[in-house]
């Protein structure tokens, strides 16, 4: 090969390499602010890959022995609140509701009550279709995790221990002033 042909070949290789690099560069032709934002996004994604603990902080939940559930009977338009002890079954209409676990976040954290619930319809003869719901229910998002049945809806409200009377430890009954003390007149 002659020197002239080698230079021409090297120039065409260099041009094709530059074209490939410009195609691979996402920020080609972007304004300075957009380039800076893209660089910060890349850095953030890299940090999430390196330190996954920052992306998912583990929460602590306390165990409770009773789940406070609520159900809607659609044909009768009635809402009923009922308690289900963990490991036992309660009935709501013809449905049997069994709670396998009930957990609640401590008071100093963001409020959340979760329960692992199984809902069955014993009227259904087919064992495959008898189980209507099996999974975690979250009190903070009942629309995402409730049982939605054509006739009945069931969702969790709270978790409590059977020794406590209130559904939540920070709920206290209000004291009303007695009317006789408020209307006292001096003679």
Q: Which of 62, 56, 66, 79 is nearest to 142 (CA)?
A: 79
* Contact partners, residue 78, CB within 8 Å, separation at least 6: 72
Across the beta sheet with 152-160, what order do the strands follow?
78-85, 66-73, 152-160, 147-148
User: pLDDT band at residue 137, thresholds of 50, 70 and 90?
Assistant: very high
pLDDT of residue 95: 92
pLDDT digits (tens, 9 = 90+) for 43-60: 777 666 666 554 455 678
> Over the stretch 96-115, which tens digit does the pLDDT of each residue have?
999 999 999 988 888 889 99
> Cβ(7)–Cβ(1) under 8 Å?
no
Q: What is the mean pLDDT of residues 151-173?
A: 69
Which range among 90-94, 161-165, 177-181 shows the weakest confidence by mean pLDDT? 177-181
Mean pLDDT for 141-150 is: 84
What pLDDT digit, counting tens, does each position of 2-33 carry? 677 776 667 766 666 666 555 545 555 667 77
Cα–Cα distances (Å) from 52 to 44, 71, 109, 110, in that order, read 11, 39, 21, 21
Residue 36 scores a pLDDT above 90: no
pLDDT of 75 higher than 90: yes
Helix, strand or coil for residue 169?
A: coil
**CA-to-CA distance for 91 and 102, rounded, in angstroms?**
18
Per the DSSP assignment, residues forming a β-bridge with 66 are 85, 160
Q: How much is the pTM?
A: 0.56
In 3D, which of 67, 94, 99 has the Cα closest to residue 149? 94
């Amino acid at each position: 090969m002659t020197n002239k042909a080698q230079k021409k070949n090297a120039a065409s290789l260099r041009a094709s390499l530059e074209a490939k690099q410009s195609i691979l560069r996402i920020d080609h032709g972007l304004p300075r602010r957009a380039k800076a934002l893209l660089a910060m996004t890349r850095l953030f994604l890299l940090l999430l890959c390196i330190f996954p603990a920052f992306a998912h902080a583990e929460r602590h939940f306390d165990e409770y022995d009773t789940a406070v559930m609520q159900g809607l009977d659609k044909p009768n338009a009635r809402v009923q609140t009922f308690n289900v002890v963990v490991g036992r079954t309660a009935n709501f209409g013809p449905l049997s509701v069994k709670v396998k676990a009930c957990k609640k976040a401590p008071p100093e954290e963001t409020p959340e009550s979760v329960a692992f619930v199984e809902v069955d319809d014993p009227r259904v003869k087919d064992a495959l279709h008898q189980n209507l719901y099996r999974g975690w229910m979250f009190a903070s998002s009942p629309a995402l995790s409730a049982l939605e049945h054509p006739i009945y809806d069931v969702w969790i409200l709270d978790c409590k221990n059977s020794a406590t009377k209130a559904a939540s430890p920070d709920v206290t009954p209000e004291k009303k002033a007695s009317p006789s003390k408020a209307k006292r007149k001096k003679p």
